[in-house]
């Protein structure tokens, strides 16, 4: 009996080790993006066991008035940005895309902000779009990218700086506020995840896989591989340091970010704030999906000196 018990324990240990190896590979692939030409072919078995090769998205054409800007991180990664001025601007909006996206994915929002009278600055996060690097930390180190964008605009003499972000971009803004002494005039957060664990579990739901225990293992190995304790990446906690007025927006049909996450973030905001829920939208561009409502809410938020609590 003891012999069978030891054998069973060994089998369980082997399976546990194999499971962790597989998840460690998936964590690596989840946080790396490559040029399509560099990634090579991948079989279905390889994708299942080792994770899916992720490719950098290519930016589509910018507004013809856009000026190319290169920013450099502390570890010498070059970030690619578009600065687009408008005549008689009343401020500048910095826009930050989501995980796996690129700055051209925010073209609709940027055009809308320019229509409202704002200059725009769109930035590719490290490892995305035309920026250098292959490693993405789902907002952890990318907070420096947000700070660099903010400083670039501030150094132009701009006093009215608005930060807008979607998904990972929104979450990264909250960490930048937590990590750096930046004070934007206003902040617009669209569908930020509550924590990086929530983000992992949301991704697993999209793959029809259970969040527990795979989400925790995915985040653990992702943090180990990149040298930080990933469980501390919590936008729901970072927002407590925000002093600027905040417009928080979310689509009711979002399969990745839950209403509970949004309500926790909203509850933790200790500043002027407003929550807007879009009934016909999911985890997508609210500006594109419900354009009229988005324009109304964003225009009202930016034009009001005091935000009505809701």
User: How does pLDDT run across 74-103, given as a tens digit for each residue?
Assistant: 999 999 999 999 999 999 999 999 999 999
User: How does pLDDT run across 98-116, given as a tens digit for each residue?
Assistant: 999 999 999 999 999 999 9
CA 74 to chain centre: 20
Tell me what pLDDT residue 146 has: 98
The whole-angstrom separation of Cα 128 and Cα 204 is: 22
User: How does pLDDT run across 149-178, given as a tens digit for each residue?
Assistant: 999 999 999 999 999 999 999 999 999 999
Q: Across the chain, what does the average pLDDT equal? A: 88
Tell me what pLDDT residue 308 has: 45
| Domains of the chain: residue spans and CATH | 1-55+197-232 (no CATH), 56-195+234-310 (3.40.50.1820)
* Ordered strands of the 186-190 beta sheet: 67-72, 78-84, 119-123, 92-96, 161-166, 186-190, 246-251, 273-278
Locate 299 and state its tokens: 């225009």
Query: Is residue 189 very low, low, confident or very high in pLDDT (cuts 50, 70, 90)?
Result: very high
pTM above 0.85, yes or no: yes
Across 42-57, average pLDDT: 63
The single-letter DSSP state of residue 109 is H
């Amino acid at each position: 009996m003891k012999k069978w018990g030891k054998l069973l324990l060994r089998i369980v240990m082997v399976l546990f080790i194999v499971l962790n190896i597989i998840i460690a590979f998936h964590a690596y692939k989840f946080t790396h993006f490559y040029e399509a030409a560099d990634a090579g072919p991948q079989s279905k078995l390889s994708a299942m066991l080792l994770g899916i090769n992720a490719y950098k998205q290519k930016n589509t054409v910018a507004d013809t008035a856009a000026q190319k800007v290169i920013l450099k991180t502390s570890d010498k990664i070059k970030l690619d940005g578009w600065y687009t001025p408008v005549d008689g601007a009343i401020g500048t909006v910095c826009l930050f895309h989501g995980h796996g996206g690129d700055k051209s994915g925010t073209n609709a929002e940027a055009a809308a902000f320019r229509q409202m009278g704002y200059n725009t600055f769109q930035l590719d996060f490290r490892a995305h779009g035309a920026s250098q690097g292959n490693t993405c930390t789902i907002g952890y180190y990318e907070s420096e990218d947000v700070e660099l964008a903010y400083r670039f605009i501030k150094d132009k003499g701009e006093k009215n700086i608005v930060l807008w972000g979607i998904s990972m971009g929104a979450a990264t803004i909250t960490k930048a506020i937590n990590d750096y002494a930046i004070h934007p005039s206003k902040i617009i957060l669209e569908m930020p995840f509550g924590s990086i664990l929530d983000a992992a579990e949301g991704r697993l739901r999209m793959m029809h896989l259970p969040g527990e225990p795979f989400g925790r293992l995915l985040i653990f190995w992702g943090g180990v591989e990149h040298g930080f304790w990933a469980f501390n990446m919590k936008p729901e906690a970072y927002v407590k340091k925000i002093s600027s007025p905040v417009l928080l927006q979310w689509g009711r049909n979002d399969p990745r970010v839950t209403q509970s996450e949004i309500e926790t973030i909203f509850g933790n905001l200790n500043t002027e704030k407003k929550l807007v829920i879009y009934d016909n939208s999911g985890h997508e561009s609210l500006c594109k999906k419900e354009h009229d409502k988005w324009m109304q809410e964003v225009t009202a938020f930016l034009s009001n000196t005091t935000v009505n609590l809701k």
